[in-house]
Amino acid sequence: MPSKSFRPYTPSRRFITVADFSEITKTSPEKSLTTGLRKSGGRNNTGMVMVRHIGGGHRRAYRQIDFRRDKYGVPARVVSIEYDPNRSSRICLLNYADGEKRYIPHPVGIKVGDMLMSGPKAEIKNGNALPLANIPEGTFVHAIELTPGKGAQMVRSAGAQAQLVAKDGPYAHVKMPSGEVRLVPIGCMATIGQVGNTEHNTVVIGNAGRNRHRGIKPTVRGGAMNAVDHPMGGGRGKSKGNNVPRSPWNQPSKGYKTRPRKVWDWMIVQDRRKSKVSN
Q: Are 112 and 80 in contact, with CB atoms under 8 Å apart?
A: yes
The domain defined by 19-39+63-201+261-270 carries CATH number 2.30.30.30: yes
Q: Which of 153, 188, 160 is nearest to 175 (CA)?
A: 160
Give 101-149 pLDDT, tens digit per residue.
999 999 999 999 999 999 999 999 999 999 999 999 999 999 999 999 9
Averaged over 207-218, what is the pLDDT? Answer: 96
Domain extents in the chain: 19-39+63-201+261-270
Burial class (CB in 10 A: 0-12, 13-18, 19+), 209: exposed
Please tell me the pTM assigned to this model.
0.89
Q: Is the pLDDT of residue 275 over 70?
A: no
Q: What is the mean pLDDT of residues 207-221?
A: 95
Q: Give tens-digit pLDDT for 14-66.
A: 999 999 999 999 999 999 999 999 999 999 999 999 999 999 999 999 999 99
pLDDT over threshold 80, residue 276 = no
Query: pLDDT digits over 145-190, tens only?
Result: 999 999 999 999 999 999 999 999 999 999 999 999 999 999 999 9
